[in-house]
A and B are shown apart, each in its own frame.
Chain A
Amino acid sequence: QGQLVQSGAEVKKPGASVKVSCNASGYAFSSFAMHWVRQAPGQRPEWMGWINTGIGNTKYSQKFQGRVTLTSDTSANTAYMELSSLRSEDTAIYFCAREGGSGWYANWGQGTLVTVSS
């Protein structure tokens, strides 16, 4: 089935960057893509991007293009999401989600709260 464990909560100042990790276990990490989704308080989830964890190619939402970078380390079974130039509107819970057979999200991490505040 698999399990995804994310890094802990972060507090950042506007203009800073944050890097969230997502450690996978219980399945073949490089065989399934990883998506990143964020959810601001009281809002619907919002898709940020996707990485092929095996070969490293990525696809980003136009909204985050230029600010988000997705990477993966197959030796550590870990995916990373880095978001730069943070602003208060980026305050949200950030989730990693493993793709199932053909694109649905079979597993989700527990979420990482990122708070952007001066």
Chain B
Amino acid sequence: DIVMTQTPLSLPATPGEPASMSCRSSQSLLDWNDGTTYVDWYVQKPGQSPQLLIYTRSYRASGVPDRFSGSGSGTEFTLEISRVEAEDVGIYYCMQRKEFPCTFGQGTKLEIK
């Protein structure tokens, strides 16, 4: 199985300031057949189900503010928040779907300072 590793596990953030988190996969998530990189980002807010933020490496899901952006290639990926807001508190997961079984990182918990 592809192992997804996220850092940091805990991310204290200041409202109005940028924040960044990383995700590393044990194998490349690039499919050479179609040029697609199969990594998505989800956020799980306290007491809620996960919700989609970024799909296919860098595409924002419908309704997601443009403060959120995804980047990276191969095995290294980044989720950036340009200006953190209090509502961004939650656990952020990366997930690969290049191969079954789909696998998730252990999560980065964003907290407000």
Query: Which A residues form the contact surface with B (CB < 8 A)?
Result: 1, 35, 44-47, 50, 59, 61-63, 95, 97, 100, 102-106, 108-111
| A35 contact from B42, B102, B103, Cβ within 8 A | B102
| B93 contact from A45, A62, A95, A102, Cβ within 8 A | A45
Query: Which B residues form the contact surface with A (CB < 8 A)?
Result: 36, 38, 40, 42, 49-52, 55-56, 61-62, 93, 95, 97, 100-107
What is the chain A residue whose CB lies nearest that of B102?
A47
In angstroms, Cα B50 to Cα A111, docked, is 10
What is the chain B residue whose CB lies nearest that of A100?
B55
CB of A105 within 8 A of CB of B42, answer: yes
Question: Which residue of B55, B100, B101, B104 has the most chain A CB atoms within 10 A of its CB atom?
Answer: B101
In angstroms, Cα B102 to Cα A35, docked, is 10
CB of B103 within 8 A of CB of A108, answer: no
CB of B97 within 8 A of CB of A108, answer: no
Contacts A47-B102, A109-B49 given; does A104 touch B107 at CB 8 Å: no
| A47 contact from B36, B52, B103, Cβ within 8 A | B103
List 4 other contacts, CB 8 Å, given A62-B101, A105-B42, A108-B50: A45-B95, A47-B100, A63-B101, A106-B61
